[in-house]
Amino acid sequence: MKQIIKEVFEAEEKAGAILRQAQSQAAEIRQAAEREVSESLSAAKEQARQIIQSAVEEAKRQADEVCQQKLRDAEQARETLLGPGKGRDAADLDALVETLCHVVQNTEHETDRRPWPEH
């Protein structure tokens, strides 16, 4: 009987040792998986950062191109309005603005004098 009890205790000790070893291995596997997930997440974040940075740089480049085109369009419109190559100065522009303001003011006064049709 003592032998059987001794064998049962030995079997329980072996089972306990096997269980502790399995728990230790499970913890190691879990830690390895967590490290792998963390590394994958870090790599994905870095890749996303690079993609966003590239997109921002491209957007800035396109915005600069649009700005440059708008400046060229404005310069072309100015030349159309003022005449090409004469190097118009501030006085010429002031005179043009004054003339335009005069035209607008006269148009307003003429409009103010007209009676509105009654409904």
Give tens-digit pLDDT for 89-98.
Answer: 667 777 878 8
* pLDDT number for residue 118: 57
* H helix or E strand, kind and range, residue 1: none
Task: Judge contact between 82 and 96, C-beta under 8 A.
Answer: yes
* pLDDT number for residue 42: 96
Give per-residue pLDDT as tens, 8-32: 889 999 999 999 999 999 999 999 9
HSE-CB for 72 with a 13 A CA cutoff: 6
Percent of the chain with pLDDT over 90: 50
Contacts 24+ apart (CB under 8 A), 102-109: none
| Average pLDDT estimate for 49-66 | 95
* pLDDT number for residue 2: 84
* pLDDT number for residue 53: 96
> For 118, which DSSP code?
P
Output the average pLDDT for the chain. 84
| Average pLDDT estimate for 57-63 | 94
pTM of this prediction?
Answer: 0.48
Domain ranges across the chain: 2-87
Is residue 110 scored above 60 in pLDDT? no
Please name the residues in contact with 51: beta carbons below 8 A apart, sequence gap of 6 or more. none
* pLDDT number for residue 20: 96
| SS3 label, residue 114 | coil
